[in-house]
Amino acid sequence: MNHGKKLRKLNVYRAQRASLIRNMTVSLLREESVTTTEARAKEIVPVRSGNLMRSIFTEFKDDGLTAWIGPDYLAAPYGYYVEFGRSKSGKQPPYPFAGRHYMEGAFYQTKTQVQSMLETSIKRIL
């Protein structure tokens, strides 16, 4: 095998290795940023019995490009009302935690931290 072929193989190997490292870094960063937001949501969610807090989970979709973080509405069907409140129409019993925006709050409270993690990782990759 001549020197040119060896050099091409080495360059291909390096490119594949760099691509693998980039993909692993992005994957770990994605999981870390989502875990940060999920953990913050569990910290700020109003707790009565702990059921709503325990029901918060993360689900990755679209080959890991999209993450859904929120309560399992089967385990805690009232999670929607705690986040967004109840309708003003009709008689409804008062609910002390209605409209608390714990998921939205978790997103905005961790947004700068997640952006910082992204920027640091992108700088390392490049």
Looking at residue 42, what is its pLDDT? 93
Dihedral in degrees, nearest 10, Cα atoms 12, 15, 17, 22? -160
Query: What does the pLDDT look like over 97-115, one tens digit per residue?
Result: 555 788 888 888 888 888 8
Separation of first and last alpha carbons in the chain: 33
**Domain coordinates in residue numbering, the chain:** 30-125
Both structure tokens of 97: 């935690």
Question: Looking at the DSSP assignment, which residues form a beta bridge with residue 70?
Answer: 57
Model-level pTM greater than 0.75? no
73 pLDDT above the threshold of 70: yes
